[in-house]
Structure 1
Amino acid sequence: MLKLKREQVEPFKQLQANGLDNALSALYGHGLDHMAHGEWTGVFSPLNSIKREELAIAIATGRYEVEKTPLEKVHSMIMTYHVRSMSLEGREKDLCQDIVTELRELEKSIKSEEADE
C-alpha cells in the first residue's frame, strides 16, 4: 500500500479527483500542463518522488495511508506504554513509567524543534 507523506496527501487527492482516466492520462500520457510525471511543478511536485506504478495503483484502488510524523509516532508510543503500565506491577510498571517519562521529554524536544522552524 502506498504511504504518503503529509505534504503529498493533498496533491494526491487533487490528482485522484480528476477521475481515473484523467489521472492515468496525467501519469502515462502527456502529463499535467504538458509535463511528464517526475517533472511536475507546483502543487503536484511532491508526487514526483513516488513511482508512477505505485501512484496508479493507489489512484485506481483508493488505497493509501499517511505516514505518521515523528511526533505522532512518539505520542503513539507514549500511549502504548502508558496503557501497558496500568496492567503491570512492581519493577515492570516502574520501567514502563520511566519509558513514558523519557518519551514525554522526547515529545517536548520535538515540539520545541518544530516551533523553532
Structure 2
Amino acid sequence: MPVAESVSVTLAALPRGVHIITSVIEDALPSLPEVEVGTVSIFLPHTSASLLLNEACDPSVRVDLEMVLNELVPESEAYTHDDEGPDDMPAHAKSMLLGASVTLPVRSSRLLLAS
C-alpha cells in the first residue's frame, strides 16, 4: 500500500454548470481499494473553474446552486475583463467563491462524501 501517490486527471470539456466527477476521481485512484484510512486532495489548476463537495442524489440541488451562483455573479454586469467573452469574468469570480481544491477523507477503501 503506497504511503502517498500522485495522479493527474484530465476531464473532457464540460458545458458551464455543476457536474458530478466522483467516478472520474475514483477511477483515477488505482490504489484506493488498498486504503483503510487516508485522505485524497484534489486540486483544479484552472482559474475559471472550481471544485465543491455537495449532495449528488437530488439533481435539483445542482440546478439551484447554479441559479444562486448566477444571482451572486451575474453575466450582465459591465466587467472590464471580457477578452474571452462575457462569461469569463463571472467564471473567475465563481471560482474564487467556491475554491479550487477539496480534501476528502477515505475510510475502508471509500471516499467519504456528503449526503
TM-score for the superposition, normalised by structure 1? 0.26
Higher relative contact order (CA 8 A, sep 6+): 2
Q: Which has the higher strand share?
A: 2
Pair member with larger Rg: 1
